[in-house]
Structure 1
Amino acid sequence: MIPAAHVSAAIEVLNDLERRRRPVAEALKDWGVSHRFAGSKDRAAIASLVFDALRKRASAAWVMGAETPRAIMLGALREARGLDAEAIAALCSGEGHAPAPLTEEERARLETATLDAAPDHVRGDYPEWLAERFAAAFGPRAAEEGAALSARAPVDLRVNLLKASREQALEKLAHLAPAPTPFSPIGLRIEAGRGRGPALPAETAYVKGLVEPQDEASQLAALLCAAAPGEQVLDLCAGGGGKTLALAAQMHNRGQIYAHDDDGRRLMPIHERLERAGARNVQLRAPRGKADVLADIEGRCDLVLIDAPCTGTGAWRRHPDAKWRLAPGALEMRLKEQAALLAQATRFVKPGGRLVYVTCSVLREENEDQIATFLAMHPNFTALSAAEMAERAGLPELARFASPHGSGIRLSPATSGADGFYIAVLKRILG
């Protein structure tokens, strides 16, 4: 396939997404199945164009003065790829499988339209219904933060200290040109390119459990738990086990981690990951009907981690389609789930123990506001300051990311180069 045909195919996929409002991975897979002549490199090129269009959907539509899939794709070629009107016109010849030629209006807009008068949600490429919430979270930097969430994310890896040091992992992966992450002492970063990222399942370092894919913000969230060898730890929303594995390595396989999730299906990937990582201090506590599978650890835990279900607004770099499928009703649902999990977690924290609340959201409602409400209802808990959190984790430089809106630490691509995360550490008062 020629590049012009890739653009046509990307417009087809965007049409499908607009019509059926489904995850982009499904739409790309279906396109590939119905166009078997397209090779793997072609499919990768089409996917890259689609993702760029989704990253820049609002600004691309503003530039073109229309919100059709074609307009968004043409605008994204300028906004995301940096192509000028002549280069875009060359891709739109109308010949063979190329898109139809540019209209006079399309060419004029590509040549002259700017984002100078665009509102923050357009310049930041996020949904208009979130404009007030982004302003509340970021103030005058809302557009800048949104733009950073629209950029391509690097591939971050967490070194598994149960099996290797960071220096050893750097050596094993030298052919991928990794660099140490800026803040996590156990992270490696492979900068994003235009095409696919590295095929990690084919890397010996991954197969043998020396590294795990994990964004630096997620690594820092686990490190801020300050889990110590010998502690009793409950990961209440363990899911696929990313933070469970990180905690096991912090604890040097000593003590006990109980990995639980209300949906046992989400725990399925953890079995293989535990084996590969060599984590031996993890007990899986999957749901069993109406049985109370956590009754024996009530009031016994030094640490309870809530990796809370959230809107995922902080992870838009990796899932750009998700921001356009997110609806206000989903936020309301998540807020109720988070409040219920915080209340549930208190049952397991022993006096003097810690409750760590984590989201990959940048919205105040899911973060500082949620914690403020919890503390008002639970006077037997107190929040550690950002400086205390950072000092306990041995990462004092993280204190600079203290939230300006309340308790906790707030990370974002624009400030830290990592995904948007919020971490709060609460301590149960003795007595």
Structure 2
Amino acid sequence: MRDGGRLAAAIEILEDLEKRRRPAQDALKDWGLGHRFAGSKDRNAIGNLVFDVLRRQSSLSAIMGSDTVRARVLAAYALTWNRGLAGLDAVLDPDDRHAPPALSPDERRALEAPALPGDAPDHVRANLPEWLIGSFRRALDDRLVAEGEALAARADVDLRVNTTKADRAAVLSALGPLDATPTPWSPIGVRVPVGEADAKAPHVVSEFAFKRGEFEVQDEGSQLASLIAAEGGATNVVDLCAGGGGKSLALAARLGPSVRIHAYDNDKRRFGDILDRIARAGTQTIEIVEPRGPDPLAPLDGTADLVVVDAPCTGTGTWRRRPDAKWRLAPGALATRLMQQDEVLDRAARLTRPGGRICYITCSLLPEENEDRLDAFLKRHPAFAVEDTAAFWQPVTGKPLPPHVGLAVGKGTGLRLSPYLTSTDGFFVCLLRHRG
């Protein structure tokens, strides 16, 4: 396919998303099944363009003075992909029957001197849902637009070195052809650049180092959350919302062979390929607790040194990787998540022994899901207190805490990581101790 056909395909897919409000990956898959002539390079380029439009759809519309999907796609190709007006004219070739029509006079004027209107509101400049702008402002203050721009950028691929099988130097050497570099904060992290425009994302899971279990795909923010949770040690751990097991695996490597990690999720479908991941990592310390019976965790009540609560959340911190999700999120979904977070924290309290700890983690930037939930939890459970979580940053990373990452929670501190501040996904991390 030529780029004109790719532009037309992106327009078609994005129009389908506006009508059906479904995950972008589903729409891309359906388009590929219906257009089998498109090769993998074509599908990759179309997918990149679709996601780049979704990342900045508010500002692209404002620049073009139009809310149409076509206007956003044209602007993304010319501006985000740096093809410029000349490049866009070249692909809107009248002789290419698969290409969209040529630029209108209004479209041409907008792209000749592209700029946001001077009165564009912050939610447009930041490419964030208007109904959430108050929550983001609470969390991000005067960094709102800068954080929104960082959330709208492409995320590189982060890897966690499995230190029971390899060290970072060995993994960096193995992934040298992919231009891998150390992550800036995690001492066990490796970052692989994702590339720009129509570049194909690195397929790291095809590397032999991955097949040997020497690394796992895990955002640096998630790595840091796991390292902070493990700081201080533990021998009996419950991973209460384990999902695919990323944090269980990280904790197993960090805490060593004497730990016992009970990985639980109330929906067994979320476990995914956790058994394959455990086998590849070579760990013997993770036990799967299946969601069977009225309370499969009851035998562990009051025994856990550490309960990791990677709470269900809106995922606002992952919008670099899932930009379609920010436009599909609705107020009702947030309300549901707040209720689930309260429930899972209450369950964690019953599991924690006196003197034990809870590590509360979300991949959200919203204060309603983070410090607000812990304030409410402390009122329900006065035996718990927030620790000075920010104090763990330097022992874990070997570097001073960056400005604005630490925040007051209760009488202690938590951590708010973000693409702008730490070059990670957005994460909230806070430790609480059962005072007994």
- Relative to the length of structure 1, the TM-score reads 0.96
Aligned to 1:23: 23
Contact 2:234 2:306 in 1 (8 A): no
1:323 aligns with 2:329: no
Aligned to 1:68: 68
Partner-residue secondary structure (3-state), 1:289: coil
Question: Residues 209 and 240 of structure 1: is their aligned pair in 2 closer, same or farther, counting only changes over 3 Å?
Answer: same
State the 1:83 CA deviation: 3.2
Look up the equivalent residue of 2:104 and give its one-letter code. Answer: T
Alignment of 1:3-402 (within 5 A): 3-95=3-95, 96-115=97-116, 116-194=118-196, 195-226=199-230, 231-290=235-294, 292-390=295-393, 393=396, 395=398, 397-398=400-401, 400=403, 402=405
Look up the equivalent residue of 2:228 and give its one-letter code. Answer: L
Aligned to 1:413: 419
State the 1:311 CA deviation: 0.6
Question: Residues 301 and 134 of structure 1: is their aligned pair in 2 closer, same or farther, counting only changes over 3 Å?
Answer: same
- Relative to the length of structure 2, the TM-score reads 0.95
Look up the equivalent residue of 1:89 and give its one-letter code. Answer: D
Look up the equivalent residue of 2:279 and give its one-letter code. Answer: E
Contact 1:156 1:187 in 2 (8 A): yes
Look up the equivalent residue of 1:80 and give its one-letter code. Answer: T
Look up the equivalent residue of 1:263 and give its one-letter code. Answer: D
State the 1:270 CA deviation: 0.7
In structure 1, what is the Cα distance between the partners aligned to 2:239 and 2:363? 16
Question: Residues 250 and 228 of structure 1: is their aligned pair in 2 closer, same or farther, counting only changes over 3 Å?
Answer: farther
State the 1:78 CA deviation: 3.4
Contact 2:92 2:100 in 1 (8 A): yes
In structure 2, what is the Cα distance between the partners aligned to 1:90 and 1:25? 29
State the 1:170 CA deviation: 1.3
1:70-93 Cα distance to aligned partner (Å, 9 max, x none):
011112223412333232222223
Aligned pairs, number: 429
Partner-residue secondary structure (3-state), 1:189: strand
In structure 1, what is the Cα distance between the partners aligned to 2:403 and 2:139? 17
Question: Residues 70 and 108 of structure 1: is their aligned pair in 2 closer, same or farther, counting only changes over 3 Å?
Answer: same
Look up the equivalent residue of 1:17 and give its one-letter code. Answer: L
In structure 1, what is the Cα distance between the partners aligned to 2:188 and 2:9? 40
Look up the equivalent residue of 1:415 and give its one-letter code. Answer: L
Aligned to 1:426: 432
In structure 1, what is the Cα distance between the partners aligned to 2:195 and 2:394? 35
In structure 2, what is the Cα distance between the partners aligned to 1:83 and 1:166? 37
Question: Residues 399 and 107 of structure 1: is their aligned pair in 2 closer, same or farther, counting only changes over 3 Å?
Answer: closer
Look up the equivalent residue of 1:262 and give its one-letter code. Answer: N
1:163-194 Cα distance to aligned partner (Å, 9 max, x none):
11111111222221211111100000112202
Unaligned runs of 5+ in 1: none
Question: Residues 364 and 230 of structure 1: is their aligned pair in 2 closer, same or farther, counting only changes over 3 Å?
Answer: closer
Question: Residues 279 and 91 of structure 1: is their aligned pair in 2 closer, same or farther, counting only changes over 3 Å?
Answer: same
Look up the equivalent residue of 1:138 and give its one-letter code. Answer: L
In structure 1, what is the Cα distance between the partners aligned to 2:258 and 2:356? 18
In structure 1, what is the Cα distance between the partners aligned to 2:252 and 2:364? 25
Look up the equivalent residue of 1:423 and give its one-letter code. Answer: V
Which moves more between the two structures, 217-226 or 71-80? 71-80
In structure 1, what is the Cα distance between the partners aligned to 2:105 and 2:78? 16
Look up the equivalent residue of 2:13 and give its one-letter code. Answer: V
1:253-272 Cα distance to aligned partner (Å, 9 max, x none):
32200000010111231111
Partner-residue secondary structure (3-state), 2:66: coil
State the 1:14 CA deviation: 0.7
Question: Residues 48 and 242 of structure 1: is their aligned pair in 2 closer, same or farther, counting only changes over 3 Å?
Answer: same
Contact 1:313 1:361 in 2 (8 A): yes
Partner-residue secondary structure (3-state), 2:355: strand
State the 1:117 CA deviation: 2.8
Look up the equivalent residue of 2:303 and give its one-letter code. Answer: R
Contact 1:387 1:396 in 2 (8 A): no
In structure 1, what is the Cα distance between the partners aligned to 2:376 and 2:267? 26
Contact 2:264 2:289 in 1 (8 A): yes
Contact 2:55 2:153 in 1 (8 A): yes
In structure 2, what is the Cα distance between the partners aligned to 1:131 and 1:218? 25
Contact 1:386 1:402 in 2 (8 A): no
